[in-house]
Chains A and B, each alone.
Chain A
Amino acid sequence: DTAVSQTPKYLVTQMGNDKSIKCEQNLGHDTMYWYKQDSKKFLKIMFSYNNKELIINETVPNRFSPKSPDKAHLNLHINSLELGDSAVYFCASSQAVGRAFFGQGTRLTVV
């Protein structure tokens, strides 16, 4: 049974489109994250939610909007996609800072 699952695994879309990535964790963790890993493999935090409340919101364009309907789910919606948004997006969860479990990643390609 997958601990942190995100869908879809691959996403190819045209510039200007709006897309969503879904994430669910069954570990009972209080905190969930979205990370972006660019082509140079640099992993950077985007958002962090604790018990459905936003606690970290790094400097990302406001075209990116996270939503946490409950503490087991954290979705990421992206409006008006740009070429530079192409990356791998990882969802993660943790019960203690630093001890994160990552989903398998969503490879987003904007063409």
Chain B
Amino acid sequence: QKEVEQNSGPLSVPEGAIASLNCTYSDRGSQSFFWYRQYSGKSPELIMSIYSNGDKEDGRFTAQLNKASQYVSLLIRDSQPSDSATYLCAVNTGGSQGNLIFGKGTKLSVKP
């Protein structure tokens, strides 16, 4: 059974701090990795993707991938109350027509 694990939280950080969200996956053959943000009552939206080991930065967001450790993380710098949402880690386990498996999400709360 291919699994994606996340700490459900809630993770609470003060405004302006760095929020660190973590995700581990079980299938060593996984090829691509994604972070989605879901506000309460809304649909998930893609915020980051990462395909190779290392860091990928986009504005205040940095995705980190370590395939040897089967670990993906998302860092949010200068956290804002508007970042308060559930963050879903998703892993593609099967190539071009693969299956996207989601973790259960980590709820982030940024306190003003």
Show the binding face of A for B, using Cβ within 8 Å.
Answer: 31, 40-45, 48, 50, 55-56, 58, 90, 97-105
Say yes or no for B109: interface residue by CB 8 A criterion: no
Say yes or no for B69: interface residue by CB 8 A criterion: no
Given A43-B44, A90-B44, A105-B43, also A100-B100 (CB < 8 A): yes
Show the binding face of B for A, using Cβ within 8 Å.
Answer: 32-34, 38, 42-46, 49, 86, 88, 90, 92, 94-102, 104-105
- A55 partner residues in chain B, CB cutoff 8 A: 97
Q: B99, A42: Cβ atoms under 8 Å?
A: no
A60 to B29, CA, bound (A): 25
A97 to B101, CA, bound (A): 11
Chain A's closest residue to B91 (CB) is A98
Q: Could you pull out 21 A-B pairs where Cβ atoms are within 8 angstroms?
A: A41-B104, A41-B105, A42-B104, A43-B88, A44-B102, A45-B99, A50-B97, A56-B97, A90-B44, A97-B92, A97-B95, A97-B97, A97-B100, A98-B32, A98-B90, A101-B46, A102-B43, A102-B44, A102-B45, A103-B43, A105-B43
Chain A facing B: main interface SS: strand
Q: A99, B49: Cβ atoms under 8 Å?
A: yes
Q: A98, B97: Cβ atoms under 8 Å?
A: no
- B98 partner residues in chain A, CB cutoff 8 A: 97
Apart from A90-B44, A99-B49, A105-B42: 4 A-B pairs, beta carbons within 8 A: A41-B38, A43-B105, A50-B97, A97-B94
Closest Cβ of chain B to A90, distance in Å, is 6
